[in-house]
Structure 1
Amino acid sequence: MLSSGPCRRGGKPKPDVRRSRTVVCSLHTAFTPMWFHARYRCDVFTDEIPRRCEDVMLEVCDTFGAILVDFNGEHDHVHPLVRHPSEVALSVLVNSLKGVSSRLLRKEFGPHVRRYLRGGHFWPTSYLAASCGGAPLSIIEEYIENQKRPG
């Protein structure tokens, strides 16, 4: 059984590691601007819109037990970095982040947003989520290759 305190080998607990009765995990996902940009790559973001978008995404993350670790943006896209629990389906989290923020941003900044967007969509429907943190893939592959098989 894993303890909720320091690891079995000693040391300090890691704050980015989530622990529950059956799961120990550290999941961070960065959503790239390639897929978290304003639809049609238009320059819709003013100084105020990314701030409001961040607030909305903080609230959405909170409802999922996730944490918006970092957030920034430019004139046509945003960069959210989210730490999320393993039991949350990433596709559901992304759909909520995009859906809620789109609805509220179009409502609160309607006249401005309508000048840039066609068809009422704020974000594209697709997304690219990149896992981040931990060892590079090459190190993990090397570790697996160097395991000693029984027999």
Structure 2
Amino acid sequence: MTTLNTLHHCSYKIQLHLVACTKYRRKVITAEMRDRLGEIFGDTLRKWEGELLEFNGEADHVHALISINPKTQPSKLVNNLKTVSSRLIRKEYPEQVAQFYQDKPVFWSRSYCVISCGGSPISVLKQYIQQQEAID
């Protein structure tokens, strides 16, 4: 049974898979930086009334499974996650980041991938909707 979150006038469960890549896919992220990025994403999501469900990544990208509420615009959230984490990572790991980007104020690529996930597969939802009785 799926547990739903609620607001005043709705019930919801919105989960997204976010993939963010470093600028030029440079392999700048260390294990320590990855852990810190997970903390930053979690803190930022709480401010947006969301939740970080899972976080991991490699040297040139990260994956985050996040839960958001219906008031949240995904593109604005992703922009904020990337802006905040870039600023803090560049501040906390200046030597590591400078090896790849010199003094440029960059960390993340402008692009990202966000995919909705969770719940029933599309085929099951389609079948359920098709089986609803028509109103005469």
Question: TM exceeds 0.5?
Answer: yes
How far 1:54 sits from its partner (Å)?
A: 0.9
Unmatched 5+ residue regions in structure 2? none
Rounded to whole Å, the distance in 2 between the matches of 1:104 and 1:48 is 13
Residues 2-151 of structure 1: pairs in structure 2 closer than 5 A: 14=3, 17-32=4-19, 36-117=20-101, 119-151=104-136
Unmatched 5+ residue regions in structure 1? 1-11
Q: Matched residue pairs, number?
A: 135
The runs of at least 4 aligned residues of structure 1 exceeding 3 Å deviation read none
More helix by share: 2
Rounded to whole Å, the distance in 2 between the matches of 1:83 and 1:13 is 14
How far 1:68 sits from its partner (Å)?
A: 0.5
Q: Deviations over 1:10-65 (max 9, x none)?
A: xx882xx2112201000110113xxx011111110112111111111111011111
Rounded to whole Å, the distance in 2 between the matches of 1:59 and 1:21 is 24
Check conservation: 2:21, 2:112, Cα contact below 8 A.
Answer: no
More strand by share: 2
Greater relative contact order structure (CA < 8 Å, 6+ sep) = 2
AA of the residue aligned to 2:84: V
